[in-house]
Amino acid sequence: MRQSTFADLGVGLIGTGFMGRAHALAFHNARTTFDLEVNLKLRAVADADAARAEHCARAWGFDRSHADWQQLISDPGVNLVAITTPNHLHFPMAMAALEAGKAVYCEKPLAVSLEQARDMHRAALKAGVVTRVGYNYQQNPIIGLARDMIESGELGQIVSFQGEFSEDFMGDPKSPWSWRCEQAHAGGALADLGSHLLAMARYLLGDIEAVCADAHTVHGQRPVCVGSQEQRQIAIDDQTYALLRFANGARGTFGSSWLKHGYKNHLSFEIGGTLGTLSFDQQRLNELRVYRSGAPGRDGFQRILAGPAQPGYAAFCPAPGHQLGYNELKTLEVRSLIQALCGANSEGPDFAEALEVERLATAIRVAAKEMRWVKVSDI
C-alpha cells in the first residue's frame, strides 16, 4: 500500500450521526493522546443536511462543511475519507474515494453484498492506498492479551469457541422500521451485530472453513415510524445462530440477536483449550476471565484487569483498573490507521479482511436458507 507523503494529513468525514461523532472524537483524541507521525488536520464534514453539516463541522473543529459527499471527496485538502453513513452508501462513497486515490476508513459492514465487497477490495488494490474498516473492538488492549495467550499456547490446543453478540434495541415489536430493517441496506442482526463477532472470531482463531446456520425473523412487521398504526413488512433476521468449523480444528457456535432484553452490548466469547479457558464480555470490556487447568483444590476463574501492561492502555491512564471505554477503542483504531498510512504498522482490518468477513456472513446466509453445511471457500 502507498504510504502517506503528506506533512499534513487532511481528514474528510462523511456522516454526522452517532458513528460520525465517534470518529470525530477519535481523530481529536488521537492528536492529543499520541505523538502521531503526521499532522492530523480536520478538513471537512459532509452531510446531506447542509445546516447539520455546517453545525457539526463547527462543533467538531473541522475547517468546512459540504452538503454533497462527492464535493468532500473532490476537496483537495482531504487525503483520508472516513465513511460513517448507512451501509448501502459505503460502496459508492468508497469507490469514489479510491478512484480519487484517497485512503478510506469505512465503518462496518463493508458493503451490502459480497459482490460489492469484492469490487471494493479490487479497487483498493488498484488504488494502492491504505484502507481500514471499523471493527474497533479488536483494538481493546485486553483483547490483545487474549490473542497473545492463544498464540503463545497458554491455553493449549484450542478446541472450542462460543460467541454471542446480543442487544435489545429492537426487542420491542413497536420499535419502528429503520434502514437497518432492509436487506438491501445490509440490515438484520447478522450484518449489524454479527459481523463484529465474525471479525473477532477470525482475529482470535483464524479462518473458519464451514458453517451451518439458522436465521429467524421474529417480528414480521413494524410501525413505519414511532407511534404509527401503519405497519411495514420485515424480512431480515432478528436473530441468527450458526455452528462453526475452524481451520485449526476447533469447533464453535455463533449467535447474534437484537431482541435479547437486558443486553446492551453483549459481544462475548468463551474460548476453550486443552490447558484452560478464557472468556470476555464487551459489557465489561476491561476484564478477561481465565481458567487454567492442573491446580486441584484451586479451581476457579481468575479475573484479569486491563492495565498499562497491555499495549495502548497506558496512553490513556497509568493505573490498572481505571478502565477504557468505547471512544478510547476508536482512538486506538485511528492511531493504528495513521501508523498504517505512515508505513509503521500493517496490522488491522483492511478491505481484504473485511471481504473475508463478508464472505463468511454470506456463507451463513446460504447455510440458513438451504439448511445445510456450507464450505466458506465455495462462496
pLDDT value at residue 197: 98
| Parallel/antiparallel/unpaired status of strands 276-281 and 208-216 | unpaired
User: What is the mean pLDDT, run by run of 10 residues, along the chain of 379 residues?
Assistant: 70 98 98 94 97 98 98 97 97 98 98 97 98 98 98 98 97 92 89 97 98 97 92 94 98 98 98 98 98 85 96 95 96 96 89 98 98 98
Q: Nearest Cα to 80, choosing from 119, 122, 32, 127?
A: 127
pLDDT of amino acid 347 = 84
Q: Is the peptide bond before 109 cis (omega within 30 degrees of 0)?
A: yes
Which pLDDT score, from 0 to 100, does residue 6 have?
Answer: 65
Beta bridge partners of 13: 45, 82
User: How far is it, in rounded angstroms, from Cα 78 to Cα 59?
Assistant: 19
pLDDT, residue 296, reads 78
Query: What angle separates helix 18-33 from helix 326-341, to the nearest 10 degrees?
Result: 70
In the block, cell 482470535 appears at 204
